[in-house]
Structure 1
Amino acid sequence: MKQGYLSQYFEGVALKHLSAVEADVNCSNQHEFNGVGALRDILGEPPDGKVRFSAKFLYLTDQDDEPIVEDGFLTWYDSRQKARLERNVMRWEYRLYFPTNLVSQCAAEGDLLVIAKRSDDTLIAIVAEKDTTIERQLMWLFGFSDLTHPGFSVKSELETEQDRIGFAAQVVLEQIGVEIEEEAPNFLDQMLDRFNGSFPKTIEFSAYARSSIQDLSSHDDPDTALIAWMEREEILFRTLEKHLLGEKLRNLTQSGIEDTEPFVKLVQSALQRRKSRAGSALENHLEQIFTDHGVTYTRTGVTERNLKPDFIFPLISNYHDMSFPQARLTMLASKSTCKDRWRQILNEASRIPDKHLLTLEPSISENQTTEMKDERVQLVLPRGLHATYTVAQQSWLMDVASFLELARLRQNP
């Protein structure tokens, strides 16, 4: 196992598209995956009898922010083992069974199935809806460009350069419930002293994260700077969060409280803080980049119907000045991840028909980017994420530097 690679979290992974028979939950209460012989590379040769692996099942689609999750098991065995032992019939027939559950009830023919083995001998079984962004992201994460044959495609080596965990991989791993373990303990005492042992405002924390990286400025390379700042803030936040939450949990435990409600509220508060902080951090770092490059803007200025786009260029006062040329106005929405939420920006600034959307989400599906084009939404991503998209998509994508050039040109024609 190597730190910073997929092998830190998985011993092996297998992918396939579900057939009609595999997705049909009406056949029986026990269901069998086909073409499973290749799974020996990650599940091993079944010993005498059946092996039952504890498993976490997830169903993911672009329409829902949270996956459907259910704990269960997968049963792995060789149905010909007894015949070999008793009658010397030299045949092998491997089978992988799973029970009906919430995830299998959602599955449909053509959906992507991922079986991943964790280091603790448990499995993650993920079903991703066909032709969605999350399907493409999972294939990209595990290094599969195509799945042409009906059986499983397997990888038991997850320490190549392709398997290095960068920012894009972290985004996908978090969507399947894998907690990134990287921390920055050397900064903990400094953060506790600076922020008085509590969580600071997001704008303060973003500024601190930027200051912790020496010799990095957005002047030369705004695309690289944005990713580096986001990565550093994420690591620093996890480090501080782990310490502060640990203290609160210990205090609750030591107080002898039997009611579970305070524990539930603490966890819910932590999850809500994580979600809101990521979006705010992205906007904070973008503000710094705009300032560094002399681009004027208004953050969350009010437009029609009291809507508040993330950024209006040059200024919100220009937007409301009907004598100001429409062609010189620009709107930028920023979303750390998109899913189907990108459509929310379509009516945020009626004077600006062509919208720009900056995201950090890797490998959005061609179906989604085609819809964005049709709705006159231009996707903007840091240059380092462009490689997660298809060649055809890359020719259309805009990077941060190009967006800055456009905003400056419209600001000072």
Structure 2
Amino acid sequence: MLEKLSNHFEVAVAKYLSAVDVDSKKSNQHEIGGLVKAGFARYLPVPKNGEKILFNANLIYISGEESDPVFYEDTLTWYDTRHNQKNRNPEYRMYYKSNPVSSMMNEGDFFLIIKKINGDLLIIITPSGSAIEFQLKNLFGINNISNEFSQSSIEGKSLILPVRMLFEDLGIELEESESKNDNLLEILLRRFPNGFPKSKEFSSLAREQTPGEPLYEPDETLMLWLEQEEKLFRTYERFEVSKKLARGFGENGDNVDDFIDFSLSVQNRRKSRVGFAFENHLNYLFSLHGLKFQQGSSKNTTESKSKPDFLFPDFSAYHDPFFPQEKLRLLGAKTTCKDRWRQVLAEGDRIGRKHLITIQPGISEQQLTEMKNKSLQLVVPYSVQSVYPVSFISDLQSVVDFIAEIKNIQAMN
């Protein structure tokens, strides 16, 4: 059973920063007001008799999808600014000190503040109109953003794998209690006693444990396989990393460079593994449905030695000038699109309308419009479509839609 956002977050509110929020000449820009009116304060204790209540907080600024987030850990202070004004009603504000994140804030930026279940605060800021803003607004169900806080609607929202991946890209790891399952670790150690297996072996085990209904529910089953493989990977990764941390780094166990190298290797393995898992499960799913296809490789290429992720029916047909173009299909597979989706456009000149399958949790309207104008058909599993703009959902294909299209053209004489 999937976890819910509400298992990790109590409340979230968002607004666009005004000049007053960021200009030191116009106000004390180190205070966050409006939390009472937005309902956020209901989840905070009430400061009494001049009390100042402290909260641990993580502040994050994301300039764009291709930029590394800027992080800062701080302590925020919740207090009544009118404590000494006996004849006036309380005015509660959240104070923060100057820091590398606050120095990047600009008028109009999207500002999201979240209270986590453990009591800590999380603040995420990104330029207005960015893909990150769009994803966060849809994820937390925040609409009608203005210069005043708008409250979120997170009840009932599932913490699907793409959402976990989004938070991980922002440097936020949401622990899943089930991933610490000792029985699962025992199974993994018996199956793979010599360390991390190849990605195809992990994918195979995930399908064994959660077979799903790939013939009748390919969208749901694909996500089920990916979720299970993620759980398997994180369980084994936690075990392997713990062993390494216990041994230490370098001859004396305290070599900083070795530690950094190890940390980077862990991050790189995470990023590459999910992409391999995605392709592994798609390959298995397409084969199960009897589709004719090949994957790009050093021997299987199109123009300019491009290697499409999936080509239907095969590369021989693609290079045959007498094979009907209308029966060719090209599918790129990217867990997240960012700007890399444009690569798919150049991977097969004979195919005008190309396909791209992704599990990215939401894409901005601007980017979706550009994809549509470039004749790129987006394929998105049903469960992920819920965080896409309503006006664009009819333009999306599901996995079952795509499989049906391929079956149809491959059945043509």
- TM-score, scaled relative to structure 2: 0.89
Report deviation, 1:134. Answer: 1.8
Q: 1:7 to 1:400 in 2, by over 3 A?
A: closer
Q: Which of 67, 87, 100 is the matching residue for 1:102? A: 100
Q: 1:108 to 1:323 in 2, by over 3 A?
A: farther
Q: Render the CA deviation track for 1:306-352: whole Å, top value 9, x for unaligned.
A: 22111111101212222222222111111111122212222122222
Aligned to 1:55: 57
**1:64 and 2:53 are equivalent in the alignment:** no
Distance 1:110 1:81 in 2: 31
My pick for the range that moved more, 184-193 or 397-406, is: 184-193
Find the residue that maps to 2:9 and give its secondary structure: coil
What aligned pairs does 1:3-402 form with structure 2 within 5 A after superposition?
4-24=3-23, 31-38=30-37, 39-47=40-48, 48-64=50-66, 66-84=68-86, 89-147=87-145, 150-154=147-151, 160-162=155-157, 164-182=158-176, 183=179, 184-214=181-211, 216-252=212-248, 256-300=252-296, 301-402=300-401
Contact persistence 1:191–1:197 (CA under 8 A): no
Report deviation, 1:255. Answer: 6.9
Contact persistence 2:220–2:382 (CA under 8 A): yes
Report deviation, 1:3. Answer: 9.0
Distance 1:254 1:307 in 2: 41
Amino acid across the alignment from 2:201: E
My pick for the range that moved more, 362-371 or 248-257, is: 248-257
Report deviation, 1:188. Answer: 1.3
Find the residue that maps to 1:351 and give its secondary structure: coil
Q: Render the CA deviation track for 1:59-115: whole Å, top value 9, x for unaligned.
A: 22543253222223433322111122xxxx132222333344333343333322111
Distance 2:378 2:104 in 1: 30
- TM-score, scaled relative to structure 1: 0.89
Amino acid across the alignment from 1:292: L
Distance 2:322 2:353 in 1: 19
Q: 1:167 to 1:145 in 2, by over 3 A?
A: farther
Q: Render the CA deviation track for 1:41-68: whole Å, top value 9, x for unaligned.
A: 2333234254443322112254325322
Report deviation, 1:223. Answer: 0.8
Contact persistence 2:250–2:258 (CA under 8 A): no
Distance 2:23 2:349 in 1: 46
Contact persistence 2:6–2:156 (CA under 8 A): no
Report deviation, 1:125. Answer: 0.9
Amino acid across the alignment from 1:127: I
Find the residue that maps to 1:385 and give its secondary structure: helix
Contact persistence 2:207–2:225 (CA under 8 A): yes
Amino acid across the alignment from 1:305: S
Distance 1:303 1:94 in 2: 63
Percentage identity across paired residues of the two chains: 38
Distance 2:28 2:246 in 1: 43
Report deviation, 1:305. Answer: 1.9
Distance 1:328 1:210 in 2: 31
Amino acid across the alignment from 1:90: R
My pick for the range that moved more, 218-227 or 277-286, is: 218-227
Superposed CA RMSD: 2.5
Aligned residues: 403
Find the residue that maps to 2:224 and give its secondary structure: helix
Q: Which runs of 5+ in 1 are unaligned?
A: none
Q: Which runs of 5+ in 2 are unaligned?
A: none
